[in-house]
């Protein structure tokens, strides 16, 4: 199977009418995207207009076929290069029960961070022996839940956590230790986690002491080290650098080198493919890590981002100082644009073949000027009722969804061979009010 995931391949069979940048858009829309003769975008064989009508908007839509294919690129690609290996899905990127289940079906183990993700994974039927528990501030209660569930590995972040484990452990438990590799990832500051001032993990000198503690404890099965240098990283040399640095922590039976592979979000961005990424990591592992050690990776964004789009209905078009196209969602369901400045691209899903004649501010409905989904989006002249489709929103969109201005979190559908299935229902006003019952009833 070819490694076309990162938008490096444009399918020439797809239209690219004059006055659009559709040729490039196909490389950031889900793999199973097409357009009907009526100019309506189809995801996984289903017209987006029908999905919007049936499930409402805003709506998170996933191309299930493309998603499964992308998972297999990671699982098969790593196994071929380094047989003693494991790919964990970093579930924070898309923590939906339907996704946990799909991940396990396709051969992924799962990285969870916190009691909530543990509950979601268990509800999905994920085998606890495939769960790896992360977090820089795990509580006693969360550690107890994880131990009771029988998670495979706990990734220890600090010595306070070791104090907790000393109190809580009643049987042997596999552990990794998160170390700070000292690699400043070239990404947004909030997404860089491997620099010397990171809040995650321990610097190498302190790591040695923590390792001694674990090795001395009868119930702690210390297996090796973990690192994660950050997210949306487009330079694969940085992953190789991290692998080289972690080898100085010592010789162990396991090395988890984290996630972080970046994806192509915009027409002009270039992102490495899965093969290029795996080549970089495994070449570094062969050079620096003990032969036969277990190698783990934890991709999140690069598995799910491209497979997902978000559908919005255009509610207002204003041609004032600028052209404002406002939709019925915004930073409540797509926080990354405001939080990290992530650039997305948009298309009118009901008019894909119309020439793009206007440069619009695609804005949301939350009460912030920073609620800007796309700055200067090239679009046809938008009309009320059009369907705006934001591409490459499969990662961290649902994760970061919130109730700003009383917004209801959107539903999620998976689409395959033209069939859509609901995996998360839309929040209701009753859901919104339910936690306020003490005040309402009091
Ligand atoms: C420990 C850890 N592993 C993996 C990931 C996944 O990163 P990404 O979604 O960029 O692949 C994260 C995300 O921040 C993380 O904190």
Which residue out of 129, 367, 384, 433 is catalytically annotated?
367
Residue with tokens 């977090």: 135
Give the atom of ligand 1 at the shortest distance from the alpha carbon of 93. Answer: 9
- The preferred substitution site among 177, 199, 258, 264 for testing ligand 1, maximizing ligand atoms within 8 Å of CB, is 258
**Was 58 annotated as part of a binding site?**
no
Band (pLDDT 50/70/90 cuts) for residue 78 is very high
Task: Give residue ranges with CB within 6 A of ligand 1.
Answer: 90, 92-93, 111, 134, 228, 231, 258-261, 298-302
Give the pairing of strands 59-63 and 85-90.
Answer: unpaired
Q: Are residues 116 and 257 in the same domain?
A: yes
Q: Are residues 41 and 132 in the same domain?
A: no
The arithmetic mean of pLDDT across residues 88-110, rounded, is 98
Report d(CA 77, CA 64) in Å as an integer: 20
Ramachandran area for residue 255 (φ above 0: left; ψ -120 to 50: alpha; else beta): beta
Band (pLDDT 50/70/90 cuts) for residue 32 is very high
The arithmetic mean of pLDDT across residues 314-336, rounded, is 97
Q: Are residues 295 and 318 in the same domain?
A: no
The arithmetic mean of pLDDT across residues 325-340, rounded, is 96
The arithmetic mean of pLDDT across residues 153-166, rounded, is 98
Q: Are residues 181 and 260 in the same domain?
A: yes
- The preferred substitution site among 5, 90, 301 for testing ligand 1, maximizing ligand atoms within 8 Å of CB, is 90
Ligand 1 center–CA 330 separation, angstroms: 24
Looking at residue 8, its pLDDT comes to 36
Looking at residue 9, its pLDDT comes to 39
**Was 301 annotated as part of a binding site?**
yes
Residue 79 has pLDDT above 70, yes or no: yes
Q: Are residues 239 and 94 in the same domain?
A: yes
Band (pLDDT 50/70/90 cuts) for residue 432 is very high
Q: Is residue 4, in this structure, part of any structural domain at all?
A: no
Ligand 1 center–CA 140 separation, angstroms: 23
Q: Are residues 108 and 239 in the same domain?
A: yes
Of 255, 277, 303, which marks where a domain is finished? Answer: 303
Residue 115 has pLDDT above 50, yes or no: yes
Q: Is residue 60, in this structure, part of any structural domain at all?
A: yes
Looking at residue 7, its pLDDT comes to 38
**Was 396 annotated as part of a binding site?**
yes
- pLDDT tens digits, 123-156: 999 999 999 999 999 999 999 999 999 999 999 9
What is the extent of the structural domain holding 394? 22-64+307-433
Q: Is residue 269, in this structure, part of any structural domain at all?
A: yes
Ligand 1 center–CA 405 separation, angstroms: 29
Ligand 1 center–CA 90 separation, angstroms: 6
Residue 384 has pLDDT above 70, yes or no: yes
Name the percent of the chain lying above pLDDT 90. Answer: 89
Band (pLDDT 50/70/90 cuts) for residue 22 is confident
Band (pLDDT 50/70/90 cuts) for residue 6 is very low
The residue nearest atom 5 of ligand 1, judged by CA position, is: 259
Looking at residue 4, its pLDDT comes to 42
Q: Are residues 222 and 133 in the same domain?
A: yes
Whichever domain contains 408, its CATH number is 2.40.37.10
Report d(CA 371, CA 367) in Å as an integer: 7
Q: Is residue 377, in this structure, part of any structural domain at all?
A: yes
Ligand 1 center–CA 264 separation, angstroms: 17
Take residue 404 and report the two structure tokens written for it: 């700003």
Looking at residue 192, its pLDDT comes to 76
Nearest to 151 by CA among 177, 173, 169, 171: 173
Give the atom of ligand 1 at the shortest distance from the alpha carbon of 303. Answer: 11
Of 281, 303, 325, which marks where a domain is finished? Answer: 303
Ramachandran area for residue 218 (φ above 0: left; ψ -120 to 50: alpha; else beta): alpha
Q: Is residue 187, in this structure, part of any structural domain at all?
A: yes
Looking at residue 63, its pLDDT comes to 98
Q: Are residues 316 and 299 in the same domain?
A: no
Q: Tell me the three-class secondary structure of the chain, residue by residue.
A: CCCCCCCCCCCCCCCCCCCCCHHHHCCCCCCCEEECCCCCEEECCEEHHHHHHHHCCCEEEEEHHHHHHHHHHHHHHHHHHCCCEEEEEEHHHCCCHHHHHHHHHCCCEEEEECHHHHHHHHHCCCCHHHEEEECCCCCHHHHHHHHHHCCCEEEECCHHHHHHHHHHCCCCEEEEEEECCCCCCCCCHHHECCCCCCCCCECHHHHHHHHHHHHHCCCEEEEEEECCCECCECCHHHHHHHHHHHHHHCCCCEEECCCCECCCCCCCCCCCCHHHHHHHHHHHHHHHCCCCCEEEECCCHHHHCCCEEEEEEEEEEEECCCEEEEECCCCCCCCHHHHHCCCCCEEECCCCCCCCCEEEEEECCCCCCCCEEEEEEEECCCCCCCEEEECCCCCCCCCCCCCHHHCCCCEEEEEECCEEEEEECCCCHHHHHHCCHHHHHC
Q: Is residue 95, in this structure, part of any structural domain at all?
A: yes
Report d(CA 136, CA 142) in Å as an integer: 12
Counted domains in the chain: 2
Looking at residue 141, its pLDDT comes to 98
The arithmetic mean of pLDDT across residues 224-253, rounded, is 95
Looking at residue 316, its pLDDT comes to 98
Band (pLDDT 50/70/90 cuts) for residue 13 is low
Q: Are residues 195 and 51 in the same domain?
A: no
Number of C-alpha atoms within 13 angstroms, CB side, residue 308? 27
Of 303, 321, 346, which marks where a domain is finished? Answer: 303
The arithmetic mean of pLDDT across residues 158-165, rounded, is 98
**Was 212 annotated as part of a binding site?**
no
Top pLDDT among 11 and 48 is at 48
Q: Is residue 1, in this structure, part of any structural domain at all?
A: no
Asked whether 73 and 373 are in contact (CB, 8 A), the reply is no
Whichever domain contains 189, its CATH number is 3.20.20.10
The arithmetic mean of pLDDT across residues 31-46, rounded, is 96
Q: Is residue 9, in this structure, part of any structural domain at all?
A: no
Ligand 1 center–CA 74 separation, angstroms: 15
Q: Are residues 145 and 200 in the same domain?
A: yes
Q: Are residues 200 and 268 in the same domain?
A: yes
The question of whether 387 is a catalytic residue gets the answer no
Report d(CA 422, CA 51) in Å as an integer: 10
Give the atom of ligand 1 at the shortest distance from the alpha carbon of 191. Answer: 14
Q: Are residues 279 and 396 in the same domain?
A: no
Report d(CA 392, CA 290) in Å as an integer: 37
Band (pLDDT 50/70/90 cuts) for residue 2 is very low
- The preferred substitution site among 186, 192, 238, 260 for testing ligand 1, maximizing ligand atoms within 8 Å of CB, is 260
- pLDDT tens digits, 189-220: 778 777 778 899 999 999 999 999 999 999 99
Looking at residue 188, its pLDDT comes to 81
């Amino acid at each position: 199977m070819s490694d076309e995931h990162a938008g490096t391949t444009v399918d020439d069979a797809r239209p690219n009418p004059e006055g659009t940048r559709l040729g490039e858009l196909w490389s950031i829309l889900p793999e199973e995207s097409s357009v009907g003769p009526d100019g309506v975008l189809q995801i996984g064989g289903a017209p987006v207009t029908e999905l919007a009508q049936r499930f409402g908007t805003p709506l998170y839509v996933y191309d299930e076929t493309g998603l499964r294919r992308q998972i297999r690129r990671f699982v098969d690609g790593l196994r071929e290069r380094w047989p003693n290996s494991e790919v964990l899905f970093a579930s924070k990127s898309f923590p939906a029960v339907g996704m946990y289940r799909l991940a396990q079906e396709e051969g992924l183990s799962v990285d969870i961070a916190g009691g909530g993700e543990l509950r979601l994974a268990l509800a999905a039927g994920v085998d606890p022996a495939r769960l790896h528990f992360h977090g820089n501030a795990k509580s006693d209660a969360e550690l107890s839940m994880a131990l009771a569930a029988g998670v495979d590995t706990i990734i220890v972040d600090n010595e306070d956590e070791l104090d907790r484990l000393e109190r809580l452990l009643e049987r042997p438990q596999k552990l990794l230790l998160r170390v700070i590799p000292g690699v400043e990832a070239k990404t947004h500051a909030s997404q860089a986690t491997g620099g010397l001032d990171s809040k995650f993990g321990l610097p190498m000198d302190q790591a040695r002491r923590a390792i001694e503690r674990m090795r001395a404890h009868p119930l702690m099965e210390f297996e090796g080290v973990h690192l994660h240098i950050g997210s949306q990283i487009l330079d694969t040399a940085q992953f190789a650098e991290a692998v080289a640095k972690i080898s100085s922590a010592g010789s162990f039976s396991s090395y988890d080198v984290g996630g972080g592979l970046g994806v192509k979000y915009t027409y002009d961005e270039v992102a490495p493919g899965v093969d290029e990424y795996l080549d970089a990591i495994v070449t570094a592992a062969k050079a620096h890590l003990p032969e036969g050690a277990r190698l783990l990776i934890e991709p999140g964004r690069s598995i799910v981002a491209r497979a997902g789009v978000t559908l919005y209905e255009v509610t207002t078009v204003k041609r004032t100082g600028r052209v404002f196209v406002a939709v019925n969602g915004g930073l409540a369901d797509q926080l990354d644009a405001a939080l990290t400045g992530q650039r997305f691209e948009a298309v009118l899903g009901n008019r894909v073949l119309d020439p793009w004649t206007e440069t619009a501010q695609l804005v949301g409905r939350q009460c912030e000027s920073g609620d800007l989904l796309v700055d200067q989006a090239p679009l046809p002249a938008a009309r009320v009722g059009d369907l705006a489709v934001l591409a490459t929103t499969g990662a961290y969109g649902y994760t970061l969804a919130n109730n700003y201005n009383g917004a209801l979190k959107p539903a999620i559908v998976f689409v395959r061979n033209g069939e859509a299935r609901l995996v998360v229902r839309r929040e209701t006003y009753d859901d919104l009010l339910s936690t306020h019952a003490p005040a309402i009833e009091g």
